[in-house]
Amino acid sequence: MIKSVLNEYNEKFNKSYEKGFLGDLKALKLVLENPNLMLSETLINKLSNLIKHYQLPLQVGVIGQFSSGKSSLLNLLFKSDLLATGARPVSVVATYINYGLNELVLTEFEDGIKPFIGGALNDQNEELNGLKSISIFTNNEILKDITLIDTPGLNANTTDEEFSKNLMSSFDAIVWLSLAESAGKASEEKAIKELNPNIKKLCLINQKDKLSDAEQNRLKAYLDDVFAKYFDKIELISCKEAKDNNPNSNIFAFYDFLKELDKENIKKTYIKNSLNALNNELLSVINENLKSLDELALKIKNYIKTLNENKFNYDELNDEFLNALKSIARTIANEFMANFKVKNAYFYTPNKSLLHKNCFIKNEYSYKTLSPDDTFLSIFYNKDVVNKQFLKIRKDINELFARLFINYEELLNEFKNTLNIAKTKELNKNYNELASASLYAISDDFYKAIDELIISDYQKALNNYELKLNKLIEKINIKALNNYENAAKLSLSFFYEKINASREFYELDNIQFKLYLPSENEIYQRLLTDCTFFEFEEILINKKQLIKLKNEYLAELESILNIQLISLGNKANKLNNIKDLINKAFWNLK
């Protein structure tokens, strides 16, 4: 898939440009402009600026504290005092010094560019109010491949200092200018530390003419020790002596530095470093989005894993439920005993005496029995004892099963909280200006719809599980009530018939046979048997139904998980495709 996408990109966005580095830059810009890469206009503008930067002369900034002699140094190129010098900050904006066949000064204002005529360029010119920049053109060979930028002094005022620092980011090389009397101060080193370490830098110390040879040597040794790590070279110069054509001025250290700058190498290195930074920043954005998707997938997997590892105490639930059913049997057995009534009966036996031959003796006896119909009506219809207990047990059973459901509901609620915390964190993150909102939407849209795309599926599965549990509860409740009613009828008939059978044997031989009267425990055990109590043990103790429902629930969750992981995987694949295309595009210029 990636190969076909790459081929499509090559056809549409790898058009041929002029050979060389500039052509490669333009080709890169075209590839990254493809809307499918979802990159921002900010990134494209940065690439446009890099292309423009490559085509421009080297941008060499002249930096230093105000009144350090920057303007004096640059005036040497003009052979005139075009840039004003003085004891107060006079370079109010950046001044660009370019190569030109003829002397020309252009001033840029909000409403356009116009030539500047007459006078020195400083902040006392009323005509310069609202000025944005100054461009000076002069016929000097050094400037053919170089543009010098005179910056406002670093310690002139807060506004000028901030402007100068922002301007530095576009410099290909830097000339730092300081005064001999203040060189090496801590405040100066603090500013020097902020200079770009990856570009050529020359440190010039002006006004060496004010120092003796011994003082110059001591200062040079000190600066080599303190500042050498920040600069390619440190030189002491004198603009005053240079203006007077004094050969001791050492001004050629400045000119030689400019002449030795390798434009092609510096430009390429600067742009490649910039592109590498942009590439890394873009990959960081994509990797951050991939990480968001991975973390979401992991949270879902952990939820399913927790459910699978959940050890609910089924035995406790089973014991409580079965004890509840047994208590009904005990209550019914007690009601059986309460319904036994004493009855009198008699039977005749032959009189064996010789005097009463062919006569019978009447034998009277009493026994306990019960009426099956009356007892059944008494237990289930005429009294509320069993009905109330059934209602209570029904309530208890519902609570027992509710505990089982709540166990899974609590786990789902914890999962919901975890996802919502992740959602808040994800949607409140700062967007990188290089990527468009569409790229972030690949992962963000999933988070925004987390309730509909993730949580709702698991909620539906839990609701379905609850419905099945409720059906099982209802089945057990109905079965328990019906079974006990049937069990009571069967047991009543059984004991009634057994009592009557014992009477028959008793009346045949009251010495060998006894009248039968069941104990409460015997009735209780008979009720459990007739109630098919062991069927409930099969359902509950062996857990066949409960485990079946649980496994069906977990299987449904696994199915949901797989569908969601596929969806997250598709989004990750989309991001990885973009990542591969961006890497490939940048690779050509590495």
**477 domain-assigned:** yes
Query: For residue 325, what are its two tokens?
Result: 């059913």
CA distances 324 to 120, 359, 381, 390, Å, are 106, 58, 21, 9
Same domain, 43 and 67: no
28 and 131 together in one domain = no
Write the CATH number for 262.
3.40.50.300
User: Tens of pLDDT along 549-570?
Assistant: 889 999 999 999 999 999 999 9
pLDDT on residue 489: 86
Distances (CA, A) of 120 to 21, 126, 290: 41, 12, 58
What would the mean pLDDT of 300-323 be, rounded to a whole number? 82
Residue 151, phi then psi, degrees to nearest 5: -100, 155
Question: Comparing 58 with 157, which gets the higher pLDDT?
Answer: 58
DSSP element (H, E) containing 113? strand 112-115
| Whether residue 80 sits in one domain with residue 199 | yes
pLDDT at residue 439, as a whole number = 92
Quote the number of domains for the chain: 3
Give yes or no: residues 63 and 31 share one domain: no
**Of all helices (H) and strands (E), which one includes residue 587?**
helix 544-587
The answer to whether residues 254 and 326 belong to one domain is no
As given in the structure block, the two tokens for residue 384 are 């509320």
Angle at 256 between CA 258 and CA 200, to 5 degrees: 45
List, edge to edge, every strand of the sheet that includes 104-109: 112-115, 104-109, 131-138, 95-99, 146-150, 58-64, 173-179, 200-206, 233-236
342 and 480 co-located in one domain: yes
CA torsion sign, 62 to 65 to 68 to 71? Answer: positive
Residue 377 domain flag: yes
**Mean pLDDT score, 216-233:** 90
Q: How far apart are CA 453 and CA 565, in angstroms?
A: 11
Query: What is the Cα–Cα distance from 181 to 510, expressed in whole angstroms?
Result: 140
86: confidence class by pLDDT, cuts 50, 70, 90:
very low
321/467 same-domain check: yes
Residue 347 has pLDDT above 70, yes or no: yes
Mean pLDDT of the chain: 84
Q: Are 160 and 242 in contact (CB under 8 A)?
A: no
Distance (Å, rounded) from C-alpha 1 to C-alpha 4? 5
Residue 273 counted as domain residue: no
367: which DSSP letter? Answer: E
* Range 358-373 burial, b when 16+ CB lie within 10 A, else e: eeeeeeeeebebbebe
Would 15 be classed as within a structural domain? no
Percentages helix, strand, coil for the chain (3-state, rounded to 5) are 65, 15, 25
**27 and 89 fall within a common domain:** no
Domain membership flag for residue 278: no
Tokens of residue 435, six digits: 């990527």
Instruction: Give yes or no: residues 239 and 345 share one domain.
Output: no
Q: What is the pLDDT of residues 235-283, one digit of tens each?
A: 999 989 988 899 999 999 999 999 999 999 999 988 998 899 999 999 9
Q: Are 108 and 102 in contact (CB under 8 A)?
A: no
Closest C-alpha to 207, from 172, 241, 255: 241
Kindly state whether residues 102 and 243 are assigned to the same domain: yes
Beta strand pairing status for 131-138 and 104-109? antiparallel
Identify whether the C-beta of residue 376 lies closer than 8 Å to the C-beta of residue 488: yes
Query: Is residue 548 pLDDT above 50, yes or no?
Result: yes
Domain C-terminal end among 250, 266, 282: 266
Q: Mean pLDDT over residues 15-37, rounded?
A: 85
**Does 246 share its domain with 340?**
no
* 25 and 92 both lie in a single domain: no
Does residue 88 surpass a pLDDT of 50?
A: no
On whether residue 34 sits in a domain, the answer given is: yes
**410 or 386, higher pLDDT:** 410
Q: How far apart are CA 485 and CA 376, in angstroms?
A: 8
Q: Is the pLDDT of residue 158 over 80?
A: no
16 in any annotated domain: no
| CA 390 from centroid of its chain's CA atoms | 52
Domain that holds residue 463: 292-428+436-585
pLDDT at residue 503 greater than cutoff 80: yes
Residues β-bridged to residue 174: 61, 201
> Does residue 448 fall inside a structural domain?
yes
128 CB-contact burial (10 Å; exposed 0-12 / middle 13-18 / buried 19+): middle
- Given a cut of 80, whether residue 524 has pLDDT beyond it is yes
pLDDT tens digits for 423-441? 999 988 899 999 999 999 9
User: 61 — phi, psi (to 5°)?
Assistant: -85, 140
pLDDT of residue 447 exceeding 60? yes
* Residues 6+ away with beta carbon under 8 Å from 277: none
pLDDT band at residue 141 under the 50/70/90 scheme = confident
Contacts with 27 (C-beta within 8 Å, 6 or more apart), sequence order: 14, 15, 16, 17, 588
Instruction: Please say whether the beta carbons of 375 and 335 come within 8 A.
Output: yes
* Spatial separation of the C-alpha atoms in residues 334 and 340, rounded to whole Å: 10
pLDDT, mean of residues 289-309: 93
Dihedral of alpha carbons 258, 263, 269, 274, sign: positive
Between CA 455 and CA 259 the distance in angstroms is 68
Residues 12 and 281: their CA atoms lie apart, in Å, by 25
Last residue of a domain, one of 248, 266, 284: 266
Closest CA to 249 of 261, 258, 240: 240
Position 14 confidence tier, pLDDT thresholds 50, 70, 90: low
Range in 152-156, 193-197, 292-296, 365-369 the model is least confident about: 152-156
* Three-state DSSP state, 158: helix
pLDDT on residue 455: 92
